């Protein structure tokens, strides 16, 4: 049983709250090794790719997009390495991306020779600006492009019957495409693939660029969910980006609106402002009492691995993982946290002021929760002395000593550690 309370929807009016709350996790797919990788200043080499893959497996991802094998030799070699060295666990499915271009698709299937099971992900742009300016195709031309390449998938897969194939199609820039046209293209592709409930294909709806508010994106997903042909034979996936800073919300609303699966990256890496942050969504679920099925119990280890693989730092204020997110400097926050810790009984539901999640659940300690600088008060100072040095100050002494501490910090402008506070206390009063 979870120690977190399920989110209870509050109905203020028919329009302000959704009817649905998330009660189970979506199917997760990490695209760190593809979308995340293609956005890096220095794309991962084989060693970094392998380390990221192993970290994703350890977290519990069962579907992992491992690259774009027709894009570069490193990408191709990484797919081969995983297959040749039998590095993919039996319950994990690798996924690879290809553009809807014949030579690239042939090279992609070549990379996958001998795979036990693979998701092959086909995409082409569908939005008006891409049709007109980039591809120079009208609507019929786009449908022809998608369906002809989908047919090539059938043909190449039939030549490699030893692999359990799953096909995925993305109308790139779905968020900027007319809904009726998105449906037309997707229906045409699934007509070629003929999925069944026992043998589903994946339809992935990307907000390649986040064009709209998350509720609008979710409405578009819901429309597709209600109108797609062969819906019972489709895993409906979404792939939000974060251009408006609302990738997490877009993903959560999309699942409420009917999506079955979420694609994203750890800590929101990815093109421009990033992909949907998988950790954020998973831990949002966790703090609502829903087991996400992913293990973040040593989140700092995961952060260090991701920082090494991506060669990019995670921001100190990043939700759930940032260095400072379980830290309070302000006196009133410290006071409330101190009182709540003192009152908390084992087995009680988590209800801690200013701490939406128990840092221990992510392998973080309570030590960093309260830190003392010039914004802090006596509560924080006495908490640190008590928790780190077993030094319990009477209330009058707390007040007096906090003025000494305040004067030191006003002069220096710097934070004081528990040890520095203890030394100051010793100097000031000569004794313990
Ligand atoms: O953002 C996007 O549209 C993509 C597709 C290739 C799925 O990454
Ligand atoms: Zn993307």
User: What is the spatial distance between Cα 257 and Cα 20, in angstroms, rounded to a whole number?
Assistant: 9
Q: Cβ < 6 Å from ligand 1: which residues? A: 35, 97, 123, 170, 172, 204, 206, 208, 239, 241
Model confidence, pTM? 0.91
pLDDT in tens, 257-283: 999 999 999 999 999 999 999 999 999
Percent of the chain surpassing pLDDT 70:
96
User: What is the spatial distance between Cα 242 and Cα 281, in angstroms, rounded to a whole number?
Assistant: 13
- Atom 1 in ligand 1: which residue has the minimum CA distance? 208
Q: Please state the ipTM of this predicted complex.
A: 0.99
* Cβ neighbours, 10 Å, residue 30: 29
pLDDT, residue 367, reads 63
pLDDT in tens, 75-106: 999 999 999 999 999 999 999 999 999 999 99
Q: Tell whether the torsion through CA atoms of 274, 276, 278 and 279 is positive or negative.
A: positive
Number of H helices, E strands in the chain: 15, 8
Name which of 208, 204, 207 is nearest 237 in CA terms.
204
Query: What would the mean pLDDT of 35-43 be, rounded to a whole number?
Result: 97
- Indicate the burial class of 87 (C-beta count within 10 angstroms; 0-12, 13-18, 19 or more): middle
Ligand 1 mutation pick, 36, 127, 186, 208, max ligand atoms within 8 A of CB? 208
253 close to 220: Cβ distance less than 8 angstroms: no
pLDDT in tens, 330-361: 888 888 988 998 899 988 999 999 999 999 99
Does the pLDDT at position 9 exceed 80? Answer: no
**What is the rounded average pLDDT for all residues in the chain?**
94
- Report CA(46)–ligand 1 centroid distance (Å): 23
Contacts of 432 (CB under 8 A, 6+ apart): 391, 425, 426
Long-range Cβ contacts of 416-423 (<8 Å, 24+ apart) = 416/372, 416/373, 418/384, 418/385, 418/387, 418/388, 418/389, 419/388, 421/372, 421/381, 421/384, 421/385, 422/385, 422/388, 422/389, 422/391
């Amino acid at each position: 049983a979870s120690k977190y309370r399920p989110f209870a929807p509050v109905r203020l009016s028919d329009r302000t709250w959704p009817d649905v709350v998330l009660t189970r996790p979506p199917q997760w797919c990490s695209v760190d090794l593809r979308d995340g990788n293609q956005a890096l200043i220095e794309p991962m080499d084989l060693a970094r790719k392998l380390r990221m893959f192993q970290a994703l497996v350890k977290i519990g991802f069962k579907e992992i997009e491992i690259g774009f094998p027709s894009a570069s030799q490193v990408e191709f070699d990484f797919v081969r390495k995983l297959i040749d060295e039998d590095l993919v666990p039996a319950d994990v499915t690798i996924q690879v991306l290809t553009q809807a271009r014949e030579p690239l698709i042939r090279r992609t299937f070549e990379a996958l020779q001998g795979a036990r099971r693979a998701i092959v992900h086909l995409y082409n742009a569908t939005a008006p600006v891409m049709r007109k300016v980039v591809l120079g195709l009208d609507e019929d031309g786009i449908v022809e492009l998608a369906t002809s390449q989908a047919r090539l998938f059938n043909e190449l897969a039939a030549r490699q019957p030893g692999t359990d194939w799953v096909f995925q199609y993305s109308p790139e820039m779905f968020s900027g495409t007319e809904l009726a046209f998105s449906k037309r293209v997707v229906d045409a592709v699934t007509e070629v693939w003929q999925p069944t409930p026992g043998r589903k294909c994946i339809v992935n709806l990307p907000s390649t660029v986040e064009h709209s508010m998350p509720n609008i994106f979710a409405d578009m997903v819901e429309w597709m969910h209600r109108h797609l042909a062969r819906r019972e034979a489709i895993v409906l996936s979404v792939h939000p980006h974060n251009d408006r800073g609302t990738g997490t919300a877009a993903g959560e609303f999309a699942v409420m609106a009917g999506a079955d699966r979420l694609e994203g990256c750890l800590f929101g890496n990815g093109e421009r402002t990033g992909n949907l942050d998988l950790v954020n969504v998973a831990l949002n679920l966790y703090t609502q009492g829903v087991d996400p099925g992913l293990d973040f119990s040593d989140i700092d280890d995961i952060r260090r691995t991701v920082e090494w693989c991506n060669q990019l730092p995670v921001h100190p204020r990043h939700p759930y993982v940032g260095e400072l997110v379980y830290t309070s400097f302000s006196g009133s926050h410290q006071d409330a946290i101190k009182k709540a810790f003192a009152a908390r009984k084992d087995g009680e539901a988590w209800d801690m002021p200013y701490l939406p999640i128990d840092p221990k659940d992510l392998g973080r300690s309570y030590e960093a929760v309260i830190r003392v600088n010039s914004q802090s008060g006596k509560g924080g100072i006495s908490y640190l002395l008590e928790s780190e040095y077993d030094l319990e100050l009477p209330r009058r002494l707390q007040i007096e000593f906090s003025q000494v501490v305040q004067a030191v910090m006003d002069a220096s402008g710097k934070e004081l550690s528990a040890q520095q506070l203890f030394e100051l206390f010793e100097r000031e009063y000569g004794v313990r």
